[in-house]
Amino acid sequence: MLTTYLPLVLMILFGFGVAFIFLLLSEWMGSRRVTREKITTYESGMIPFRTARERFSVKFYLIAMSFIVFDIEIVFIYPWALTFTELGLASFLAMIIFIIVLFAGFYYELKKGGLQWD
């Protein structure tokens, strides 16, 4: 029984081995020149104009969490929609409750002003 897992274990060990070897090679063979560009803050290719230790607005985090919640919603709704005809009425009612709870949260966020960009 355990012999059926042997190729998987070997593949995982091989992957970790190659990753470890590449890390060592990059450490040994990489350049060590420290320049001003290498130690500055990276801002998506733009020239940084403030420090990286600056505080962000709470609205930034609200929008980020909304994005994650709606992405997770799609992760749940897409497979459900593909198998909608085979799942029956119970799954339809569960998805309706899920969507109602989701839109209640979205309505709350709209009322609190979490999506206003000013």
pLDDT digits (tens, 9 = 90+) for 29-83: 987 888 877 777 666 666 667 666 777 777 777 788 888 888 888 888 888 888 8
pLDDT of residue 9: 94
**Residue 113, Ramachandran bin (φ over 0: left; ψ between -120 and 50: alpha; else beta):** left
As a whole number of angstroms, the distance between CA 57 and CA 66 comes to 15
Per the model's pLDDT, the better-predicted residue between 22 and 87 turns out to be 22
The angle subtended at Cα 23 by Cα 18 and Cα 24, nearest 5°, is 100
pLDDT of residue 52: 65
As a whole number of angstroms, the distance between CA 89 and CA 87 comes to 7
pLDDT of residue 45: 67
Q: Taking 90 as the threshold, does the pLDDT of residue 84 lie above it?
A: no
As a whole number of angstroms, the distance between CA 110 and CA 96 comes to 21
User: What architecture is domain 2-112?
Assistant: Up-down Bundle (1.20)
pLDDT of residue 37: 74
pLDDT of residue 17: 98
User: Position 114: which residue type?
Assistant: G
pTM for the whole structure: 0.49
pLDDT of residue 118: 67
